[in-house]
C-alpha cells in the first residue's frame, strides 16, 4: 500500500496501525524518491529513502529483524535508525526523521 503526499517539512502520512509489524509502507512524494516507513517487532517506526545504498534495491521489500532490514536483492543489512549498511558492507541509505503524534506517523520531508 502507498500514500501520495504533496507538501514538505513535517507531514502526516498514515495511522501508525497502517504500518504492519515487521513490515513497511511506501510513501510517495512528488519531488522526492519513495520513502519506506518500517515498523519493528517492538513497535518502533523508522523511515528511509526506499533505495539500498548498494545498487538501489527496494528496502521496503526487505526482511526486518530487530532494528535492521535485509535488502531483497543482495542481502545487505541496513540499520533502520541510521540508514548505515552493517559491516562488512559500507554505504548509507538516507534517513528520514519520524515522529508519532496522536497515533499518526509524521515524516520530516524538509531535507528531501
Distance CA 13, CA 4 (A): 8
If the CB atoms of residues 14 and 57 are measured against ligand FES, the closer one turns out to be 57
Mask for 36-65, x = binds ligand FES (CB under 6 A): ----------------x-xxxx--------
* DSSP-assigned letter for residue 64: E
Distance CA 20, CA 60 (A): 12
If the CB atoms of residues 7 and 75 are measured against ligand FES, the closer one turns out to be 75
**In the numeric block, which cell numbers belong to residue 6?**
504533496
Instruction: Based on the shown chain and the rule CB under 6 A, indicate whether residue 34 belongs to the binding site for ligand FES.
Output: no
The length of the chain, given as a count of residues: 112
If the CB atoms of residues 63 and 104 are measured against ligand FES, the closer one turns out to be 63
CB of 99 to ligand FES, least distance (A): 27
Instruction: Based on the shown chain and the rule CB under 6 A, indicate whether residue 83 belongs to the binding site for ligand FES.
Output: no
Q: For residue 7, what is the enclosing H or E element?
A: none
Amino acid at each position: 500500500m502507498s500514500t501520495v503526499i504533496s507538501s514538505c517539512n513535517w507531514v502526516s502520512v498514515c495511522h501508525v496501525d497502517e504500518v504492519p509489524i515487521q513490515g513497511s509502507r511506501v510513501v510517495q512524494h512528488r519531488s522526492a524518491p519513495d520513502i519506506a516507513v518500517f515498523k519493528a517487532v517492538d513497535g518502533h517506526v523508522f523511515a528511509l529513502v526506499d533505495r539500498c545504498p548498494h545498487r538501489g534495491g527496494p528496502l521496503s521489500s526487505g526482511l526486518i529483524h530487530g532494528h535492521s532490514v535485509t535488502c531483497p536483492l543482495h542481502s545487505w543489512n541496513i540499520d533502520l535508525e541510521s540508514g548505515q549498511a552493517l559491516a562488512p558492507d559500507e554505504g548509507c541509505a538516507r534517513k528520514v526523521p519520524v515522529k508519532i503524534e496522536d497515533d499518526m506517523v509524521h515524516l520530516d520531508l524538509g531535507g528531501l
